[in-house]
Structure 1
């Protein structure tokens, strides 16, 4: 699909009604393939010469997609598609795949791994697992109710780890990759509000204010910092628009940002040119960066309606969306195992579960 021909209001609507069955099938193709692809797989430190246990043994649910967090958000993407797309063309296959994975025995094995490895996938994978749980909470469907019941023990385990191993940290990480604290906090906050977990919501809001309330004149001109797939600047702002009321947020962002309409700060509003040279496959992160910047900019434009930056944010969101979506459906596995999730997040961001109002 040529996304450049879609008008701005439609492209940035965050609604799915304009997305046709052909595109819905496209959204499902790569996640369905990737969740079954056990190798190649990312292995962290090797602690002994005894060999590395195969991913499927440790993670009978989330073993594909190169790494655990990508497997989680690929499952999220499949579940979200079933919820938001009416009569999804791949509905039967998606349900069959998830039925085979979501069993009490498989979930128990996932929990056992976290009990022995308490910081595994902190915080990025944990954040996506809660997004997945949110999706099942939102979906009024018998399958969703059954799957929600099955994964609840893992959901509880992740919440406990978030409280003990993440919210207890003394300072945030302001990076453009998996360790970004603001992205994890916004996902956890969205989950807490979707599931009406008021104690977790309060803890996240308190942490976000402690971490970011005093940030001023952010060095936006340094971005991207490397092979980023998140903008530290925009991800932080995307979190704080969830935390503050409208007046508080406008005051905060006026102090947080330098004048982004002037050089060198206006580079924040420009999409990144993403090379997809197979010798530098990590550069595909920059495709994801354009997508995540697009959803952050679109959310900020809506929140700041009437503000001096609102129109600039909206124009920039459309440019980032067009650039990111034009490259998101690559067959290169370095991107295909995860980019569909980012594209779906952008195009369905107003279909529930993402940036819900405070409870």
Structure 2
């Protein structure tokens, strides 16, 4: 699919939906809409008895598609966000019909029951994306959004509670480039707290972020990427801390956190990752996602560093990452198609609310 191939880079990095052509919405909805109803193949986790494995649709009657729970959740986020941002979405009736069919009180009760019996399930990545979905519904002034969020409210309450008791209480951060990344989950929870005006949760996230990351110095960016990374641990951490600090504080922190990324070997972090077509398909597609997520981090960092020596290098790097990432993001290979569109939408609409909203705390 080449619908996005000819979009100008400044339009991509603007993060504004109204600068995108009408046909972009159809492109962005195709894979998530198909995948949320695709039960197999599916990652069902470990088998803990000889009695067989319960079908994904039985375990997770709402979020059973997309190979895994978190991908189903952020695909729902992507579709809901598109309905909010794109007027007269070409797939509106299909999206609404698909979500309505699964989103019932009974199905949500089963999702809650599963989480209550498996309290570490999808910690923290799936929880983080679910809170993005909840905040997106809160932003959308629409009767359907109100109804869907009301139905999801028991699951929202359960996940917020688990975030507070099982995630924010952890003793140390995980600095990985995959699902366990602590900084990514913290920034999603912080965005949620600010969007729905949960001051207590916001304060707790800020406190945790400062405890984990405030003293980080001279981060080894030359080690990235490692293995199956689809996030940059260093840039994701910086993307969190720009939400935590004011501009001057953030610039001071960043100067100590990063080595000189304009000089070798540290400048490699500013270059898109080369995706080897001959490598394992799963790894290759994770690296496509890595380029997209680095693009949104770099663009956000550049916007927070007006006048700083890194502002222009970060902006130019974001352009290169966006171009490389979008070139490989729309694939019919299910290993990538079930999740990459969500990452692209995050990049293309990062300034449309729900992502890095303004700080509400006075300190």
Q: Same fold (TM over 0.5)?
A: yes
2:69·2:122 contact (CA, 8 Å) conserved in 1?
Answer: yes
Residue 175 of structure 2 is aligned to residue 174 of structure 1: yes
Q: Give 2:36's aligned residue.
A: 35
Q: Give 2:106's aligned residue.
A: 105
Q: Give 1:213's aligned residue.
A: 214
2:12·2:347 contact (CA, 8 Å) conserved in 1?
Answer: no
Q: Give 2:186's aligned residue.
A: 185
- In 2: Cα distance, 1:3 partner to 1:56 partner: 33
Q: Give 1:50's aligned residue.
A: 51
1:2·1:326 contact (CA, 8 Å) conserved in 2?
Answer: no
2:3·2:24 contact (CA, 8 Å) conserved in 1?
Answer: no
Sort the Cα spacing of 1:276 and 1:70 in 2 relative to 1 into closer, same or farther, 3 A: farther
Sort the Cα spacing of 1:200 and 1:146 in 2 relative to 1 into closer, same or farther, 3 A: same
Provide the secondary structure at the position in 1 that maps to 2:138.
helix
Q: Give 1:289's aligned residue.
A: 290
- In 2: Cα distance, 1:278 partner to 1:52 partner: 31
- In 1: Cα distance, 2:139 partner to 2:90 partner: 21
Cα root mean square deviation, aligned: 1.2
CA offsets per residue over residues 295-345 of structure 1, 9 Å max, x none? 000000000011000000000001000110111110000000000000000
1:21 to partner: Cα distance: 2.2
Q: Give 2:236's aligned residue.
A: 235
- In 1: Cα distance, 2:98 partner to 2:277 partner: 30
Residue 296 of structure 2 is aligned to residue 272 of structure 1: no
Q: Give 2:86's aligned residue.
A: 85
1:3·1:322 contact (CA, 8 Å) conserved in 2?
Answer: no
- Between 47-56 and 263-272, the greater mean CA deviation after superposition: 47-56
1:237·1:253 contact (CA, 8 Å) conserved in 2?
Answer: yes
Q: Give 2:71's aligned residue.
A: 70
Sort the Cα spacing of 1:120 and 1:157 in 2 relative to 1 into closer, same or farther, 3 A: same
- Between 109-118 and 40-49, the greater mean CA deviation after superposition: 40-49
Q: Give 2:224's aligned residue.
A: 223
- In 1: Cα distance, 2:108 partner to 2:227 partner: 35
- In 2: Cα distance, 1:162 partner to 1:131 partner: 13
- Between 16-25 and 93-102, the greater mean CA deviation after superposition: 16-25
Residue 354 of structure 2 is aligned to residue 337 of structure 1: no
- In 2: Cα distance, 1:42 partner to 1:224 partner: 24
1:276·1:284 contact (CA, 8 Å) conserved in 2?
Answer: no
Provide the secondary structure at the position in 1 that maps to 2:14.
coil
2:3·2:27 contact (CA, 8 Å) conserved in 1?
Answer: no
- In 2: Cα distance, 1:68 partner to 1:308 partner: 41
1:250·1:304 contact (CA, 8 Å) conserved in 2?
Answer: yes
Residue 144 of structure 2 is aligned to residue 143 of structure 1: yes
Provide the secondary structure at the position in 1 that maps to 2:18.
coil
1:101 to partner: Cα distance: 1.1
Q: Give 2:307's aligned residue.
A: 306
- In 2: Cα distance, 1:8 partner to 1:63 partner: 35
1:123·1:184 contact (CA, 8 Å) conserved in 2?
Answer: yes
- In 1: Cα distance, 2:97 partner to 2:343 partner: 23
Provide the secondary structure at the position in 2 that maps to 1:317.
helix
Within a 5 Å distance, the mapping from 1:1-12 to structure 2 comes to 1=2, 5-12=6-13
TM-score, normalization by structure 2: 0.97
Provide the secondary structure at the position in 2 that maps to 1:17.
helix
TM-score, normalization by structure 1: 0.98
1:281 to partner: Cα distance: 2.3
Sort the Cα spacing of 1:193 and 1:262 in 2 relative to 1 into closer, same or farther, 3 A: same
1:328·1:340 contact (CA, 8 Å) conserved in 2?
Answer: yes
- In 2: Cα distance, 1:175 partner to 1:135 partner: 26
Q: Which structure 1 residue ranges, 5 or more long, are not aligned?
A: none
Q: Give 1:317's aligned residue.
A: 318
Within a 5 Å distance, the mapping from 1:97-136 to structure 2 comes to 97-136=98-137
Q: Give 1:156's aligned residue.
A: 157
CA offsets per residue over residues 154-175 of structure 1, 9 Å max, x none? 0000000001110000100000
Aligned residue pairs, count: 359
